[in-house]
């Protein structure tokens, strides 16, 4: 009986996490689509900062354990090597795809 309870508990926890992940992904996809200034489907440093300033996005990320303030601090690091070979492009315009 104890093993059965453990299995049921583990399955319930996995399902709860899956629901949370799907909810976060849905919210973030909607917010990102709204904030994607050039419709590229990628995110620029400027768009990332705008995203992190968005109250619902910040709250959603915080709710799943993301340190939003830390992410803002790491924006420079995240984008430092993106398209570094393109010299004439402004730093704020460099973009990452979501798979990057």
User: 3-class SS at 88?
Assistant: coil
CA–CA separation, 41 and 74 (whole Å): 21
The winner for highest mean pLDDT among 60-64, 88-92, 93-97 is: 60-64
pLDDT of residue 15: 92
Look at 38 and 8; give whichever has higher pLDDT.
Answer: 8
User: Which has the closest alpha carbon to 68: 52, 84, 46, 55?
Assistant: 52
Express each pLDDT in 55-85 by its tens digit.
999 998 898 888 998 988 888 888 876 655 4
Helical spans, DSSP H, in the chain = 2-35, 45-53, 55-63, 68-73, 75-79
Distance separating alpha carbons of residues 79 and 65, to the nearest angstrom: 22
Is the pLDDT at 27 greater than 80, yes or no? Answer: yes
């Amino acid at each position: 009986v104890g093993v059965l309870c453990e299995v049921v508990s583990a399955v319930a926890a996995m399902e709860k996490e899956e629901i949370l992940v799907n909810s976060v992904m849905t919210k973030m996809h909607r917010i990102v689509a709204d904030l994607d200034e050039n419709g590229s489907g990628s995110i620029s440093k400027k768009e990332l900062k705008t995203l992190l300033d968005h109250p619902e996005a910040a709250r959603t990320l915080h709710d799943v354990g993301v340190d939003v303030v830390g992410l803002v601090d790491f924006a420079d690091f995240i984008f430092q090597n993106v398209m570094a070979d393109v010299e004439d492009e402004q730093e704020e315009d460099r973009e990452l795809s979501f798979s990057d």
